[in-house]
Structure 1
């Protein structure tokens, strides 16, 4: 039974968030501290957002052969996404139908999904194929067991999953974004690295950090800060399912601009980087030559699980210099991530302070304002 005091507190938080979001952007403030620190508010997010929204779990190009799989979690639900025998993407519950052990971990390739506990095993379509010694039980019928399917769709080369049977298709929700970035041909970019991390911060603090470039000159003063011209950045109003901002610049690495063989992009688009925040937790830096991304999953209020990956546009995949450039870029991204980690963990410590108070947003934090409005709209429905 819910604690009445907690219920009142979370309603007060939701009201404060909504009130803040009703201000015009010119008078907008950062979100209230409790939005980041309240376990009850996270529970509300899990019901209103994570149990309902589409979430990115990686690149389709990471699953190249029948039996290739990756694992993820939506709230408390472990899932597996794999290529079936027909090379179709399929997502299903990653929990055995016997004594409910998690089945697969990490990424890999299997011909059968074998439970590590009692060796019940399933085909790539989720049907139970083997259950040792169970024929002795008269009530057991192998054919009645099938791992529950999870909705899975591909958009621009990304794999999205949701537990909500009624969620509108990803293509529909991101139709405006498809138009905005269509010329990049992101679906054909190839992932060349992938890692997973856990940081000591709230998922929203990390998401907001990605969305704005206002922090670049200071937090990243040892890396990309000196090259970041804030006056060249455009932060247009966002859309219901995403926000974005642009920067047009001559890249320090050749892979930051369009390859000479790239005929998709013309004019200023050949050196324009798009920073995309696809709600709730998919964050993409898309350049004409490479991309990198974060896909976030809350692990309680104070920890966030991060899928971190990146790769190259198709023209650079076959370029003999591309590997050297990607190695240089990855080293830079690791340094930038280390700076971001220090920054977002410091913010998480700060939002717990009794005297913490959110201030006005800058014009470069328009995406944060739009993100807050998205959150407010979702949690207010519950």
Structure 2
């Protein structure tokens, strides 16, 4: 594999340094070089070779229960709307009007028609143009010739993914091994009970790496989940091409972290085992027998990351008479954990910019970070 010579020299050097580290055996591996996090050229390469080509999660299908429910996102400068159609299917389309190219919808909501805020051209939920005020006066205009471009979308385990790449293998195909590992949890049936969006002042990969490894739990999270985290009991097996994962088997800090008495899907130690899942490049899930929470990351420059943050409960806890209390307890815990994580990853970003910053050796519990680095190198080196 070679680094494209058309890249700026400093970007080539960063990619080569990353590649060289990934060629080291894991027991001698180092953290990624600082330029991976601070270089605008490296981020531009990520946008071109990763975000434009990979499947990217945009949230839970259950967040779109009704016809006309929608959410919006942007991938590599392409605004996208994902919505539930009148036929109950979930589809993704360009979120740009076919007239004067205004963005159509913002945020999340529900619509009966997609109406352009600029000139009121409006589209059906399948993207077909239904009305264009006064355009019948133009002989060259034909309404039937206008339909919003469709974008590939798939639902896997209750998650909605989109991609701009027509040649990308199906999500279910790429994540078949992950499905086999976690099927007994029944993640598709978990119910989202909260959703928020945030922007933190750090590089997206620092937050990704923070999620992937549990080495930091006893220290960074010493006021929350740290005391319940026994490093000696954690398992960090080698990752696979599209994802990495690790397990934590423990008595949970919240009752909902272990399986509900009515849960018949899980047996033995699995009733108290948490799976931490990193679906490349930017979807991260903590899956416990009783609840889940997730992050979907999108870089906004080298120094900021947009975060889709949500979570919810397994169906047995949703049906429990104490469901409302469980929801409040979960959200309170996660808000505290997120505050600790934010302080941690923003401090690391300040550190990687230092002239004397140097990456050190990874611990055996940071195997997911090593696998993530190798994923990045494989996509960025041609």
Question: What is the SS of the residue equivalent to 2:195?
Answer: strand
Question: What is the SS of the residue equivalent to 1:187?
Answer: helix
The residue that corresponds to 1:182 in the other structure is 183
Q: Distance in 2 between matches of 1:249 and 1:218?
A: 18
Q: Distance in 1 between matches of 2:254 and 2:24?
A: 41
C-alpha distance after superposition, 1:239-287 (max 9, x if no partner):
0000000000111322111111111101100000000000000000000
The residue that corresponds to 2:360 in the other structure is 359
CA contact (8 A) 1:51 1:163 kept: yes
Question: 1:232-381 counterparts in 2 under 5 A?
Answer: 232-381=233-382
Number of residues of Structure 1 aligned to a counterpart in Structure 2: 378
C-alpha distance after superposition, 1:320-340 (max 9, x if no partner):
112202201211100110111
CA contact (8 A) 2:286 2:292 kept: yes
Confirm whether residue 155 of structure 1 aligns to residue 156 of structure 2. yes
Question: What is the SS of the residue equivalent to 2:8?
Answer: helix
C-alpha distance after superposition, 1:210-235 (max 9, x if no partner):
00011111111121112211111100
Q: Distance in 1 between matches of 2:142 and 2:201?
A: 46
Q: Distance in 1 between matches of 2:291 and 2:351?
A: 34
CA contact (8 A) 1:153 1:160 kept: yes
Tell me the CA shift for residue 290 of structure 1: 0.4
RMSD: 1.0
Q: Distance in 2 between matches of 1:304 and 1:162?
A: 20
Q: Distance in 2 between matches of 1:27 and 1:251?
A: 33
Q: Which moved more, 1:51-60 or 1:225-234?
A: 225-234
Tell me the CA shift for residue 196 of structure 1: 0.3
Confirm whether residue 84 of structure 1 aligns to residue 85 of structure 2. yes
- For structure 2, list consecutive stretches of 5 or more residues without a partner in the other structure: none
CA contact (8 A) 2:317 2:326 kept: no
Q: Distance in 1 between matches of 2:31 and 2:223?
A: 26
The residue that corresponds to 2:215 in the other structure is 214
The normalised TM-score by structure 1 is 0.98
Q: Distance in 1 between matches of 2:173 and 2:24?
A: 29
The residue that corresponds to 2:98 in the other structure is 97
The normalised TM-score by structure 2 is 0.98
Question: What is the SS of the residue equivalent to 2:281?
Answer: coil
C-alpha distance after superposition, 1:301-333 (max 9, x if no partner):
111110000001111111011220220121110
C-alpha distance after superposition, 1:64-84 (max 9, x if no partner):
111111111112111011111
Structure 1 pair 339–114 and aligned structure 2 pair: CA distance change class (3 A): same
Q: Distance in 2 between matches of 1:171 and 1:76?
A: 26
Q: Distance in 1 between matches of 2:152 and 2:298?
A: 18
- For structure 1, list consecutive stretches of 5 or more residues without a partner in the other structure: none
Q: Distance in 1 between matches of 2:47 and 2:139?
A: 40
C-alpha distance after superposition, 1:34-76 (max 9, x if no partner):
0001111011001110000000000001111111111111121
The residue that corresponds to 1:44 in the other structure is 45
Q: Distance in 2 between matches of 1:6 and 1:152?
A: 31
Question: What is the SS of the residue equivalent to 2:274?
Answer: strand
Q: Distance in 1 between matches of 2:355 and 2:133?
A: 58
